[in-house]
Amino acid sequence: MQVFISHSSQDQEIARWLAQKLRQQSLDVWIDCDRMTKGAAINDSFESALKSSEVILFLLTPESGKSKYLQKEWSAALEASWADPAKRLVPILISSAVLPPFLEEYQALRFKDLDEFHQLAPIRIKEAARAVKSGWDQAFQGARSPGKSKYQWYKRMLNIEDAAEGFRLSPAKLRGKADQFEGTLRSQREAGDRLGEARSLMNLATVFMELQDYEKSRRLLERSVEIFSSFYGDAHPSVAAVLTQLGLALRKQGRNERAQIVLERAMLANQKVLGEDHPAVAETMRNLGIVLMELGRLKEAKEVLQRALKANIRILGTSHPSALRVKSALNSLQRAS
């Protein structure tokens, strides 16, 4: 049985200790700090490890940082559990660590301090791993499996984004991440892993967006959406997600006419898969509304943003960050009118 340990770089030593103890109990453990060398590309087996792991552990301490890389790891883990509902996600909370909102549906293993963690964690995790085949609920006393609706899945994705909101790497660290993603991209191309290549192109584009190199980000996103579309057609969440990012890159370049076309395509793709009343559609509407506002088409922008706000309030509530972002855009529109 394979166990995947997701952890912050600040918790690397704790994660290494846990991996060693679990291996001593005959569990196959995947942990990135064991598979990477300093300055090396992200290990090519990362995605395959998530797919093959039956248990994914989220190690959280009060010192855990929220980096863009960790955000992507969380998102990939959630996608893996969506593709395979038998996969189990287990948060591990040490001391005063806070459970991220996207993991609230999962029963956490809690330890009051590091001493208790060192004493009990290997045993409790081993028992949980054994219970995967015999019945998870018995091990975790009624823990719920993740909801299978597309809305629940996407809402947890939004929570992942909110958990990392405001985190910014320095330009030097961002360039280091770009080097890592480019190394992964080369390996995927050599292996003929086209879908992996599309995901790495999107990851790399995100880094260059942060570096404000919008032209390079745009080119990478266009290649990514071309690959995703060749596999899935237009009506797929991955296609819509890349199109939305592409629309943002075009807007940053001041190419709003092109951004409008791309975002309308993204919204249509999401609507076909997820329906009208969905957070992903509302988020694309928000971006489209901002583009229309910058094009001076204020009436159209107001209509689109109001639709986005109504959807977000209905689905997520008035105080959710997504709803607040739409309200902010409407306030900007009102000042421009």
Per-residue pLDDT tens for 208-267? Answer: 988 899 999 999 999 999 999 998 888 888 888 899 999 999 999 999 999 999 999 999
Tell me, yes or no, whether 156 lies in a domain. no
pLDDT digit string, tens, across residues 169-197: 678 878 888 898 899 899 989 999 898 89
Residues 317 and 185 both lie in one domain: yes
With residue 55 as reference, give the H or E element that holds it: strand 55-60
Residues 141 and 186 both lie in one domain: no
CB atoms within 10 A of CB 240: 28
pLDDT digit string, tens, across residues 26-66: 888 988 765 444 434 444 567 778 888 888 999 998 887 66
Helix locations, 114-236, DSSP H: 114-134, 136-140, 150-163, 171-191, 194-210, 214-232
Domain ranges, residue 89? 2-147
Instruction: Please tell me the total count of domains within the chain.
Output: 2
Distance CA 241, CA 65 (A): 25
Residues 121 and 230 both lie in one domain: no
CATH number of the domain at 137, please. 3.40.50.10140
Over 70: is that where the pLDDT of 141 sits? no
Alpha-carbon dihedral sign for residues 77, 81, 87, 92: positive
Cα–Cα distances in Å, from 163 out to 49, 166, 173, 203, 322? 24, 9, 20, 18, 13
Half-sphere exposure of 100 (CA within 13 A, CB side): 29
C-alpha dihedral, 39 to 40 to 41 to 42, nearest 10°: -90
Residues 114 and 173 both lie in one domain: no
Tell me, yes or no, whether 329 lies in a domain. yes
Residues 132 and 204 both lie in one domain: no
Among the three residues 147, 172, 207, which one is the final residue of a domain in this structure?
A: 147
Tell me, yes or no, whether 7 lies in a domain. yes
**Do residues 242 and 235 make contact, with C-beta atoms less than 8 angstroms apart?**
no
Residues 187 and 134 both lie in one domain: no
Position of tokens 């001493």?
115
Closest alpha carbon to 86 in 45, 46, 53, 123: 53
CB atoms within 10 A of CB 319: 8
**Do residues 67 and 164 make contact, with C-beta atoms less than 8 angstroms apart?**
yes
CATH number of the domain at 310, please. 1.25.40.10
Q: Which residues have a Cβ under 8 Å from the Cβ of 144 and sit 6 or more positions away?
A: 105, 106, 107
pLDDT digit string, tens, across residues 288-337: 999 999 999 999 999 999 999 998 888 778 877 788 889 988 988 888 77
Among the three residues 112, 147, 182, which one is the final residue of a domain in this structure?
A: 147
The amino acid present at 146, given as its one-letter code, is P
Closest alpha carbon to 53 in 128, 108, 3: 3
Tell me, yes or no, whether 154 lies in a domain. no
Tell me, yes or no, whether 152 lies in a domain. no
Tell me, yes or no, whether 247 lies in a domain. yes
Residues 37 and 182 both lie in one domain: no
Tell me, yes or no, whether 73 lies in a domain. yes
Tell me, yes or no, whether 153 lies in a domain. no
**Do residues 284 and 244 make contact, with C-beta atoms less than 8 angstroms apart?**
yes
Distance CA 202, CA 242 (A): 7
